[in-house]
Amino acid sequence: MTDPKPTALLVVDTDVLIDYLRDQSDAVAFLEGCTQPLALSVVSVAELYVGVRDGEERHRLDAFVAAFDALPLERKAAVQAGLWRRQYGPSHGTGLADALIAASVATAGATLVSLNRRHFPMLADVLVPYAKPS
């Protein structure tokens, strides 16, 4: 685990957010105990809404997402994401969504919080807050 800079903005990846929403204890402990500012990528927001059901689940997700700032995706970051996807997709399994998240994190000078360090070789700072239970 790479320790983030003390005041660095932490951008939480979709995998950690899903664990939190599923009440996974390590994710809950990490997010609720974090003292650094937290944000989401707009890509993670989209990924969360892919699986949501209408009704109460949707209302809960709306409230959850509203609690975070969302990093925008600018043209420069989109270009970088495409280049990173081309470079790291075959060797590291980096998908377009991961590359877009990484580019928005890099543009913001933030630290990514993810359970999947392998998909983000382009980032120097990736915080893996806990190991996924097997």
**Do the Cβ atoms of 88 and 118 come closer than 8 Å?**
no
| CA 79 remoteness from chain centre | 19
CA distance 17 to 10: 13
Single-letter amino acid, residue 52 = V
The three-class DSSP label of residue 70 is: strand
Q: What is the mean pLDDT of the chain?
A: 93
- What does pTM read for this prediction? 0.90
Average pLDDT, integer, range 69-75: 94
Is 18 exposed, middle or buried, given 0-12, 13-18 or 19+ CB atoms closer than 10 A? middle
Q: What is the DSSP letter of 22?
A: T
Homologous superfamily (CATH) of 10-127 is 5'-nuclease (3.40.50.1010)
7 pLDDT above the threshold of 80: no
